[in-house]
Chain A
Amino acid sequence: MCQHQFYVAKPALKSVTVCARMRRDLRGALLLLLTAAVQSSSMSAPGKPVLLSCRSPEKETFTCWWEPGSDGGLPTTHHLYYERERLEGTYECPDYLSAGRNSCFFDKNHTSIWVDYYLTVMASNALGNATSDPFKMDVMEIVKPDAPGNVTLRVEEREASPCLHVRWMPPSNTDTKSGWVTIKYELRVKKDNSNNWKEYTSGTQTHFSLYSVSPGGVYTVQVRCLLDHGSWSEWSNTTFVKISNYLQNERPLSMLISILSAILFIMAGLILIAKRKSVKQWVLPPVPGPKIRGINSQLLQSGGSDDVGNVLIIKQSFPPIYFVWEDQMEDYLIVTENEDWLSSNSQKRKKSLIPACFHFDSEIHSKESPCHQNDWEKDEEISQVDNNNKPFTNTGYVDFQRNVENVDVKHVDYSRVKEVKSDNIIFLEKEKVQSSGYIHFQRQEGIPEDYSRVKEVESDHLVVLQKQNAADLSCKDEGNHYTDCALHKPRKPHVCTELSDSGYVDTIPAPPLM
C-alpha cells in the first residue's frame, strides 16, 4: 500500500517511498508552488508610459521625452512610434541615444515643420506590452531655444555714475542668418542679494547697456531668448560683477573739506560783524564835506543861529574871485550912480524912479511897493549901454543885510559883485533867490572912504549909488580919465530927505592884482 503524504517543497527533502502515480502529482504540485513563488515577488507586464513633452531648440530638429510606467520587475524596453501627416505608415524613432534616457531625437532629415506628428510609446517586457496615449504635436508649436551663452559684463566707470555693458552670444544652434528664425532677447538684473529682478527687453541686439547702476554693489545679470512666437528659453548662467565704490571713499574726504570751509566762513562772518564799523569805513569811505574856514560844523549842527549869523556876517576875508561868470541863469545886480544911464535905458524897461528907495518889501512884485522891480535885460545890453564906462574886472562882494518883515531876524544875503563898471556902477551877481526881505542898511557915522551910499535900488538887479560931489561928475565928463575917480575918493553922504533909512554899500577894496 502507498501512503499519500504531502510534503512542503523544501530543499532538504526527506526520502520518501513513492509510487509512479505519486510522482506525476508531485510534479504538478511542484509547478504550482513555483508559480506561486514567482507571483509573490511581483513580476508583471510593464505599466503604461506617459509622453511628457517635446521640444525643438531651433525649429530644425526636435526631441521628445516620456516617462516609463512600472517595469513589472522585468527588464522592459520602450519604443516610440510615430505617424505623420502627409506621410503614410508608422515609423519608429530614429535616435534613442543622443538625447539621453527615455527620449527620442529627431534629426533634420526626419523633421518636418507644419505637419502633425502622432507619437506613441510602447513599453514591453517578457510578460506584456503597454502603450501610452497618443501625443499630437506640430514642430511649429514646440520651439524653445537654448539659453544665450557667453554672457560678459563690463563696467565702465564714468564721472557721474558708472554704467554696465552686457554682451552675449546667441545660442550656438540657432540660425538667424538665413532668416529662418528671428530671435529676441531679454535680460534681468538684480543688485546684491535682493530678490527683485529688473527686466529689460533687448530686441535683436546682442548687447545692452545699463545706466542705473550705483557703485558699491554686486550686480547679477541673466539673459534669455525667444524664437518667433515660441517659448522663452531658460535664463542663462548667472554672471555677476562688483562695482568698486571708489567714489564712496572720496566722500568722507569731501565732507571733511566742506565742513572745514563752512567753519572758516562762519568765523569770517563773525569777525566781519564784530568789526562792521571799520569794515564799513573801509568799504564805503566817507565823502569829505566842504570845509569852510572859521565855520565850525559842529556849531552849525548844534543850531546856534546867532553865532552862525555872526560868523556869516563878519566875513571880512572873503577871497575875491576873479573869474567872470557869464551864466545866463544868473542875474546881475547893477549898482550905479548914473541916473542918465538909467534913463537912457528907459525904453528897454519900465521903471519909475523913486529916489533913494532901497526899501524892499517882502512882496517884491506887489504893486503897492513903491519900488518896481523889473526884469533886467541880459548882460550884453548893459555892456552896450555902458560903453563909455570902463569896467573894472575885479569882483567883490557887496553885502547888505536884509531883514524880513521888520522882524529882527537877520537874514543875510550876499551878492557877489561881478564887475565894477565905474566908480559908480557895480555889477552884482545875483543868485536866484532871496528877493524878499528888507535890506537893512547899517547907518554909520564915520563913513570910511570906501563907502558909497546907495541912492536907489532900481530893482533886484540895479542899485544906483549916490554921487557925492561935483568932482565925481567932473570925473565923468572928463571922459576916460576915470582912474582919478577911484573908488577910494571920499564922498560925503548925501542925505536923502525922503529916505527912511540910509545905508551903505560896503565894497571890498580893490585887490592888488588890479
Chain B
Amino acid sequence: MEKVLFAVLTLVYLELSMRVVSAPICSYGQAGCHVPSLADLFERVIQQSSRMHSVSSDLHSDFEQYFFPRKNLIGKRKCHTYDILTPEDKENAQRLGREQLTEVIVRLLQAWGEPLSELYQSMSQDQNQDFNLYSSNKALEISDILHELKDGVTIITEKMKLLGVLSNTVGYNSPESLVPSSAFYTQGDLDSMDHHDLLYCFRRDSNKAKNYLRILKCTTLPEPDC
C-alpha cells in the first residue's frame, strides 16, 4: 500500500516539476515565455530538416525496392522545383550570402507544401497497392515536418532581422511567379510513377535544404567547430 502511495506521490511530483521546467517557448518575447536563442532555433531547425530528409530517403528506397527492383533506372525527369536556382556546390553556396541563401531555403520549402499533401492523399486513397498501405504514414510525417520547418525558418528569419544579422530585404512572401506551380502534378490523379518522381525530387530538395541551413548557421553564428 505504501509503495502505491509512494509511486503516486513520485508521479505527481515529477509531473509538477516538469510543468515548472517546460515553460512555453515563444519567439516574440511575450510575457512569461522563455525566448530561445538563435543557436537553439538553428539547432532545432537543422534537426527537423535532417529528420525530414532521412524519412523521405527511406521512403524512396522502399519505393524503388518494391516497384522497380532493377537498379539504376534511367529516366530523365524534371522536378517542379527545377526553376529554383540553387547553388550546387560548397563554394557557390558560401559565396551566395545569407540573404540569398535564406531566400532559396524558404522558396524550396514553400514549393513542397502542396505536393506533399497531395502525395499523402493519393497514397492513402490508393489502397490497392500494399506499399501504400504501409508507407502512407511516412508521407504524412514528411508533410507535417515540412510544415513545422517552414514555421521554424520564418521564426529564424525574423530573429535574424531583429538581431541585424539579416537585412530586411528578405521577403518570404515570394510573389506567385517565383513559387513553382504545383499544378505540374495535379493534372490528373497521381499514379505510382508520379509518386516515385515526387519522392525522388523531394529527397534531393530536402538534402539541399538541410545543407543550406547548416551553412547559414555556420556563417551566422561564430563557432569554432560548426
- A residues engaging B (CB < 8 A)? 59-60, 85, 108, 111-116, 118, 134-136, 138, 140, 175-180, 182, 228-229
**B207 and A114 form a contact (CB under 8 A):** yes
Which listed residue (A60, A85, A228) contacts B90, Cβ 8 A?
A60
Are A180 and B211 CB-contacts (below 8 A) given A112-B88, A114-B88, A138-B204? yes
**B218 and A111 form a contact (CB under 8 A):** no
Which listed residue (A115, A135, A175, A229) contacts B88, Cβ 8 A?
A115
**A229 and B57 form a contact (CB under 8 A):** yes
**B72 and A113 form a contact (CB under 8 A):** no
Interface centre among A59, A138, A140 (most CB of B within 10 A): A140
A182 CB, nearest partner CB in chain B, Å: 7
**B208 and A229 form a contact (CB under 8 A):** no
What is the interface of chain B mostly: helix, strand, loop, or mixed?
helix
**A108 and B91 form a contact (CB under 8 A):** yes
A257 to B149, CA, bound (A): 69
A60 to B94, CA, bound (A): 13
A116 to B201, CA, bound (A): 11
**A182 and B214 form a contact (CB under 8 A):** yes
A116 CB, nearest partner CB in chain B, Å: 8
> Which residues of A have CB within 8 Å of B57?
229
**A229 and B215 form a contact (CB under 8 A):** no
Please count the residue pairs between chain A and chain B whose beta carbons lie under 8 angstroms apart in the complex: 56
**B204 and A135 form a contact (CB under 8 A):** no
A175 to B210, CA, bound (A): 16
Which listed residue (B73, B207, B218) contacts A178, Cβ 8 A?
B218
What is the interface of chain A mostly: helix, strand, loop, or mixed?
loop
Which listed residue (A59, A116, A179, A228) contacts B218, Cβ 8 A?
A179
Closest to B205 in A: A114
B186 CB, nearest partner CB in chain A, Å: 24
**A177 and B225 form a contact (CB under 8 A):** yes
Q: What 0/1 readout, one digit per residue, does chain B (162-178) give for beta carbons within 8 Å of chain A?
A: 00000000000000000
Interface size on B, residues (CB 8 A): 25
Closest to A83 in B: B76
Are A179 and B214 CB-contacts (below 8 A) given A108-B91, A114-B204, A140-B204? yes
Interface centre among B74, B90, B218 (most CB of A within 10 A): B90
Q: Name 22 A/B residue pairs within 8 A (Cβ), A-sorted.
A: A59-B90, A85-B76, A113-B89, A114-B88, A114-B204, A114-B208, A115-B88, A134-B74, A135-B72, A136-B74, A138-B204, A140-B204, A140-B207, A176-B225, A178-B215, A179-B215, A179-B226, A180-B90, A180-B93, A180-B211, A228-B210, A229-B53
> Which residues of A have CB within 8 Å of B226?
176-179
**B207 and A180 form a contact (CB under 8 A):** no
A53 CB, nearest partner CB in chain B, Å: 11
Closest to B225 in A: A177
Residue B135, interface by CB 8 Å: no
> Which residues of A have CB within 8 Å of B54?
229
A178 to B101, CA, bound (A): 15
Q: What 0/1 readout, one digit per residue, does chain B (77-99) give for beta carbons within 8 Å of chain A?
A: 00000000010111101100000
> Which residues of B have CB within 8 Å of A177?
218, 225-226
